Amino acid sequence: MVFLFAGIFEWDQMRQDFQREAQIDFDDRSKEITLAVKNKLNSYVYMLYGLEGLFNASDEVRRSEFSAYIKALDSDKHFPGLSIISFVRRVPARDADAFNQRIGTEFPMPGIFPADLKEDYYPIDYVYPESDINLRTVGYDISSDLNRRFAMEKAMNANEAVMTGQIPVKPDNEPGVVIISPVYQKNAPVEDPSLRRGAVLGYVQAVLHTQDFFSAVASEYDLKDIDLAVSDITRNGGSNEPETLFHFNNDQFADGKLRASAAGNSALTSVISIDMAGRTWSFIFFTPIAATQFSYQKTISAMVLLGSGLISLLVLILLYSLLASRQEALSLAREIENRYEALFKSSADAIMILEPPLWKFTGGNLATLKLFNVKDEKEFISLSPWDVSPKKQPDGSLSEPRARSMMEKAIKEGSNSFEWIHKKYKGDDFPAEVLLTKMRYGGKWMLQATVRDISRKKKIEAIKQDHAKELNRSKKELEVKVSELERWRKVMVGRELEMVELKKKIKQLSGLNK
């Protein structure tokens, strides 16, 4: 019986190990989904920053130019849940009649509404797409909505995009959120916060239907075995109750909170919060433990019911075998880890580790510190890839979103190699070859990055190109000279032939004279 109880105890330990491993995998999946949501929201923010750049680069952006810019982004494909994008123009009270007259000639609109008396109005001027229902919002003063007015003030003070809480959004009053970013007059000084208000040209805003947005995420990541509740837990004063944004497979949730009956050993849960555009969203993931968990319990029950000394002995033998295998596996894992650590530290290549979801460096070897001109590893792990990159890459793309997309591709496909422009920490830029490799370490998925400075290679390639150009130029010059020589040769041969003919004629004339 001692053997039997010892076997049952060990099997229970294995069951707990399985549950811990299942929780780790579930946490990783939850983080992946949460990061995907944050990246999608970031794409809306960067789209608004692009629109801000369009206005800053132009003396005046026409309605057609506004629509053409957004249409080129293929918003239906790349921005799920997007209802409407609009430009909100700041209209001082003295200019309200002129604004109303202008939009009245373009659309059958009554003008600015609601028409309360105020110093400045902020009516919607341009919309995309220009559907009938969206055009009904032209002239709507968004500052009449307390939530949007609060977001506008916060966006102007911070000089960055800010998101509202969930509100009924026009034109259909469906639940949604609005991301708002300020637009300033061209060349206006906006570094000083005290000067920004007078320099505001207006705002650009993107309206998202939360149900459509999260449904697209759920479809992309196949959440059929997961219950998910998303809540806005931002503390802005007033009520501190979380605001439910989305439920999926929500049998286990009530008012955005996990039911008490759903918690415990029979379920896996993961709670993650993200900060995005001035809001804090909480994600609660729930799923029953995989069927493999219950297969362990059935095996234990069967062993208890049998209760024979022979089975106990077999369990003991199996137990010793499992323990021996586990010890061998742990020993092999330690040996592999030690070999990897030695290779990591001694490698002449710059090798570094990045960990999601923030994608900060979590380690780097000596070659890495030398490559980026960083004094020690403590300073290095305070950085992210875009901290050791210029603001933009040669193709004009911003380094941070481009780097995030490269790392997401490596996580999805297992690896990703590409050329990149890095820079020394507080130093000069240099071209590099980057290899990102997905790896699992300490129960977590990470990326190992190998970076090689290819400045010398690029210089050699440039020299080769210059030599090739010079050789091609010399070849063309030689062809011209050969052609010229051939022309003169033909001229000389022609003259020789003429002299021969002339001599023949002279000889004939001499014979006739005799």
The pTM of the full predicted model, rounded to 2 decimals, is 0.54
Give the type of residue at 51: L
Q: For the packed helices 63-72 and 2-56, what is the interaxial angle rounded to 10 degrees? A: 150
CA angle 171, 174, 175 (to 5 degrees): 130
Domain residue ranges of the chain, discontinuous segments joined by +: 9-40+222-291, 61-215, 345-453
Radius of gyration of the chain (CA): 36
Cα gap 354→455, rounded to integer Å: 24
Give residue 150's pLDDT.
93
Give residue 390's pLDDT.
93
- Residues 193, 281, 448, 401, CA torsion sign: negative
| Tens digit of each residue's pLDDT, the chain (514 residues) | 554 455 455 556 666 666 777 788 888 888 988 898 888 888 889 989 899 888 888 888 999 999 999 988 887 777 888 889 999 999 999 999 999 999 888 877 778 999 888 899 999 999 999 888 888 889 999 999 999 999 999 999 989 999 998 888 766 678 889 999 999 988 888 888 788 888 899 999 999 988 888 888 888 877 777 888 888 888 754 445 677 777 776 555 454 454 544 444 457 888 999 998 889 999 998 887 543 344 444 444 444 444 445 555 565 566 566 666 566 655 655 654 554 555 456 677 888 889 888 888 888 888 888 889 998 888 888 899 999 999 999 999 999 999 999 999 998 998 899 999 999 988 899 999 999 988 877 678 888 899 999 888 888 888 888 888 888 887 888 788 778 777 777 777 777 777 877 777 787 777 665 5
Among 450, 351, 352, 359, CA closest to 408: 359
**CATH code 3.30.450.20 for 345-453:** yes
Give residue 314's pLDDT.
61
Cα gap 364→355, rounded to integer Å: 12
Structure tokens at 393: 């890459």
What is the per-residue DSSP string for 249-269?
A: SGGGEETTEE-GGG-STTEEE
Give residue 293's pLDDT.
44
Structure tokens at 127: 């919309």
CB 407 within 8 A of CB 354: yes
CB within 8 A of 2, min separation 6: which ones? none
Class level of CATH domain 61-215: alpha beta
Is there a shared CATH topology between the 61-215 domain and the 345-453 domain?
yes
Give the type of residue at 43: S
Give residue 300's pLDDT.
44
Question: For the chain, how are helix, strand and coil distributed in percent, rounded to 5?
Answer: 55, 25, 20
Structure tokens at 475: 């070849």
Among 276, 245, 80, CA closest to 179: 276
Cα gap 365→356, rounded to integer Å: 19
- In a 3-state reduction of DSSP, which class is residue 117? coil
Cα gap 489→491, rounded to integer Å: 5
Strand order of the β-sheet with 267-276 is: 243-248, 227-232, 279-288, 267-276
In the block, tokens 């005799």 appear at: 514
What is the per-residue DSSP string for 308-377?
A: -HHHHHHHHHHHHHHHHHHHHHHHHHHHHHHHHHHHHHH-SSEEEEEETTTTEEEEE-HHHHHHHT-S-H
What burial letters (b/e) apply to 102-134, b meaning 16+ CB within 10 Å? ebeeeeebebbbeeeeeeebbbbbbbbbeeeeb
CA angle 403, 407, 411 (to 5 degrees): 170
Structure tokens at 465: 């190109």
- Residues 318, 320, 324, 329, CA torsion sign: positive
